[in-house]
């Protein structure tokens, strides 16, 4: 099914870009940041020039969440498809695996951004936002965490700004389990191990292992679940959620994840990156309830290890 973007694939020129530091109404935020009149702010809102996390917003009382990205376009952004887009049950390509009054969790497909970028407007955040707005225009979701575009699996959004702010401020205090499955090249000499390194990022946005303890400490645990002469299927648990952490650690061991174009792959048996976020367990900041979000391991991962008859 062909997907619909809320913004045309044309270059957008931004005159300003901000990041929210707390939950507050969009109008109040823009009045403070733009140092202009209330009428001017309302005009740019009604003129489709304000984007929040890549989505055009026109409501002055739209509630921002901590670390939302707000951008002001030089010109109006109009797309009639944006008004006509309807989802019967759920957004295209998105499987909703959990929803309550506070959270919505999806099984994000590989190849879809968690949140829009300057070069790609299509994102899980956009589709989940549209899905929630169908029930009530006042509904919205808040970004809690992200997974790489090329990675599939569990991605959660908060529906409550108070929960969102608590999670963003104290994410590691509320995360209990972060589990992934990875298909890597070759057979692992150690069938179970823990990798502890420091990571840094270069000017080309590539993360690398360093001996410099001023880098970010990264801890990855893995266990071989299945293997053959060409590949290994790993169950991976991470104690730290650094950028590209699992991908960098596997490449560091000499066993890159299949089809990892950034970190040294040579084989592409799955026609996608061999990394899937299978389980995320967190505590609800408001009541301490443990929530468990699971996304089944893709069948294609397991199919690589079926024994030939």
Going along the chain from its start, the domains and CATH numbers come out as: 14-81 (3.10.290.10), 85-169 (3.30.2350.10), 172-303 (3.30.2350.10)
Q: What is the mean pLDDT of residues 242-262?
A: 97
Candidates 202, 242, 246; CA nearest to 221 is 246
Residue 91 binned pLDDT confidence (cut-offs 50, 70, 90): low
Q: 198 φ, ψ to 5°?
A: -110, 145
Residue 195: the pLDDT is 98
Structure-block tokens of residue 181: 């499955």
Instruction: Please state, as a whole number, how many other Cβ atoms lie within 10 Å of the Cβ of residue 253.
Output: 18
Residue 190 binned pLDDT confidence (cut-offs 50, 70, 90): very high
Q: How many residues does the chain have?
A: 309
CA atoms of 137 and 24, how far apart (whole Å):
18
Where in 74-141 does DSSP place strands (E)?
A: 95-99, 103-108
283 vs 79, residue with greater confidence: 283
Residue 10: the pLDDT is 57
Percent of the chain with pLDDT over 70: 90
Residue 165: the pLDDT is 85
Read off the pTM.
0.81
Residue 61 binned pLDDT confidence (cut-offs 50, 70, 90): confident
Residue 178: the pLDDT is 98
| Of 36-50, 119-133, 273-287, the least confident | 119-133
Which helix (H) or strand (E) segment is 161 a member of? helix 161-169
Residue 90 binned pLDDT confidence (cut-offs 50, 70, 90): low
Which helix (H) or strand (E) segment is 52 a member of? strand 50-52
CA atoms of 255 and 234, how far apart (whole Å):
11
Scan for tokens 């303890």, then name that residue: 213
Residue 77: the pLDDT is 85
- Indicate the SS3 state at residue 297: coil
Four-residue CA torsion sign, 304, 307, 308, 309: negative
Q: What is the mean pLDDT of residues 69-97?
A: 68
Scan for tokens 């499987």, then name that residue: 95
Residues annotated catalytic, as ranges = 148
Whether 294 shows a pLDDT value over 70: the answer reads yes
């Amino acid at each position: 099914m062909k997907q619909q973007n809320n913004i045309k694939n044309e270059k957008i020129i931004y005159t300003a870009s901000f990041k929210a530091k707390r939950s507050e109404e969009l109008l109040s935020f823009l009045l403070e940041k733009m140092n202009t009149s209330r009428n001017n702010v309302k005009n740019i809102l009604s003129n489709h020039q304000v984007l929040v996390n890549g989505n055009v917003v026109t409501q002055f009382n739209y509630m921002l969440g901590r670390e939302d990205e707000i951008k002001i376009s030089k010109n109006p952004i109009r797309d009639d498809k944006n008004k006509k887009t309807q989802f019967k049950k759920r957004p295209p390509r998105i499987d909703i695996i959990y929803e309550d009054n506070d959270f919505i969790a999806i099984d994000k497909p590989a190849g879809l951004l968690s949140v829009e970028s300057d070069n790609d407007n299509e994102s899980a955040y956009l589709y989940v936002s549209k899905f929630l707005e169908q029930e009530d225009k006042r509904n919205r979701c808040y970004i809690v965490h992200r997974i790489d575009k090329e990675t599939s699996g569990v991605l959660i959004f908060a529906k409550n700004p108070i929960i969102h702010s608590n999670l963003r401020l104290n994410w590691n205090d509320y995360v209990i389990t972060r589990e992934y499955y990875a298909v890597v090249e070759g057979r692992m000499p150690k069938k179970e191990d823990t990798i502890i390194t420091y990571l840094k990022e270069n000017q080309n946005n590539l993360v690398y292992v360093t001996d410099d303890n001023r880098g970010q400490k990264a801890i990855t645990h893995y266990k071989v679940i299945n293997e053959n002469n060409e590949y290994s299927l790993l169950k991976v648990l991470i104690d730290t959620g650094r950028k590209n952490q699992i991908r960098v650690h596997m490449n560091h061991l000499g066993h890159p994840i299949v089809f990892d174009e950034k970190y040294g792959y040579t084989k592409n048996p799955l026609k996608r990156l061999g990394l899937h976020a299978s389980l995320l367990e967190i505590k609800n900041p408001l009541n301490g309830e443990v929530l468990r979000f699971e996304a089944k391991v893709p069948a294609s991962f397991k199919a690589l290890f079926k024994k030939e008859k």
